[in-house]
Structure 1
């Protein structure tokens, strides 16, 4: 029997903020949480209105990822809001990936692997691993390694395939590398709010994880068995943090390779603790990716 399995938190992102904001500006309004597309308990009509507004206004990078994830998993997404639409998912996720969103790169890899294009899946898997190591280096890269392993398993094992993968990855880097790098540099400006300039809530009330970044899987082997969590996975959560530092809500934004990771990891996210702030502070929101590490595979440097 495997030992109790840890998770790895890669990073927590505060709400997208204007990097030029200063203390003289008024605080931004707290985001409206009543129509979040990922909230299965919210009114479906309000959630669809939110998506329609994003499409009309032109989605930000993060919104492209959020919409693409809903279309990729369809009714299997924990939000169960939309029917699967691979064309829309691919378009949205590729836009987010080329804007520098790491999760979107992994999402594209999973989409292509699941739907019969292992070469494209491998290219995006390699790009994801490449940029993830640059942006968030970590020894705990089990999901990255498993993604690449699965892509290799779906391709012919020969030099011709290796050369094609290398050539395709280099072509993307040459063609789109500058755009991806620019996206990394501008991620602090990917705001969900519109209107006059204001001071982001994340500046006035920063959010810092006080729990260990390596935590035990809530429920242990019972969770593994109940959800069929039989391979490394990653889930991106939208986490709402109360002034006390407790997690008041955790919504699955994306779950990789499929919906199981998000469902199985949610209880662990709800147990996390962040720094406390003033009692009258608004609810803070962060995007938090969590990796399920079963020690089954590693990337060798």
Structure 2
């Protein structure tokens, strides 16, 4: 019963203070996110971008919720970030995004709970992330099944177990909370996952299309071997010929100090060329070092 009450308290925070709902997934936020991450951009312009993100997030855009939440989680750990670290705001935005189908937000909520020394909550979000990403879950179809050995998820699971421990009563309570959370939110999560793959832009916004195909074949040679346990995230600007013009670091978990090195490696990727567009195209790229995550990037989160 204690575990179930704890879940209700956690789930209650998903809608506390802000009436979030999953209504859209605007993946053409990338061009604005690039400006927000550009330390050379005027502060006033970046503040306007941040205000628009907040409006999008409150209107139910789960990508905007994730972006804002992660900026609140990182604070000044991310160079040039104009958002001050605020764990409460980070949790509200990230947990809402995760509970509505932006799966990577579950991992970042787990990272936040680890930082706040809340091992029980960190383990719950870690297990949820692994479940919906298909790591070691017997219920996932064989074609989508991925092992737990190696890569970011294995690293996150190892770090979470190190503080969660092996107490049988606590484990049983967490498993009960895990099942109850899925029963309560599974439909919303899957709806958001479909939205993330299929809805590339909000109807009212018609910005320059982002690259639909990205070639990662030359990336491996540029990746440091010690980065295999990291989850890197970037906003990449491509020219019309598909070459990378700029890379903006958004996060590198669990070691953001790896960010500059991985950003340099990202210069090797190539996007599909276009003949009917001028100017730069932007893409948010999440890079899981295990298998380099290309299947997730091409499908979108």
- For Structure 1 versus Structure 2, the TM-score category normalised by the shorter chain is 0.7 to 0.9
Q: List gaps (5 residues or longer) in structure 1.
A: 1-13, 18-29, 295-301
- 8 Å Cα contact 2:30-2:235 kept in structure 1: no
Deviations 1:202-238 (A, max 9, x none): 5xxx5312232861344x47xx6xxxx6x71101212
The structure with higher relative contact order (CA 8 Å, sep 6+) is 1
Paired residue secondary structure (1:121):
helix
| Distance of aligned partners of 1:184 and 1:195 in 2 relative to their CA distance in 1, 3 Å threshold | same
2:240 paired residue number: 243
Q: TM-score, normalised by structure 1?
A: 0.74
User: Which of 230, 250, 257 in structure 2 is aligned with 1:233?
Assistant: 230
- Counterpart Cα distance in 2 of 1:125 and 1:189: 27
Higher share in helix: 2
2:221 paired residue number: 216
Q: Which has the higher mean CA deviation after the structures are superposed, 92-101 or 271-280? A: 271-280
1:264 paired residue number: 261
| Distance of aligned partners of 1:161 and 1:235 in 2 relative to their CA distance in 1, 3 Å threshold | same
1:299 paired residue number: none
- Counterpart Cα distance in 2 of 1:138 and 1:79: 35
Paired residue total? 256
Matches within 5 A, 1:124-273: 124-133=125-134, 137-138=145-146, 142-187=151-196, 188-189=198-199, 191=201, 195=204, 201-202=209-210, 206-212=211-217, 215-218=220-223, 220=224, 232-273=229-270
- Counterpart Cα distance in 1 of 2:170 and 2:258: 30
How many Å apart are 1:263 and its aligned residue?
2.9
**Coordinate RMSD, CA, aligned:** 3.1
2:90 paired residue number: 89
How many Å apart are 1:100 and its aligned residue?
0.8
Deviations 1:44-98 (A, max 9, x none): 2211211112323535111111111111010111333221100100001011111
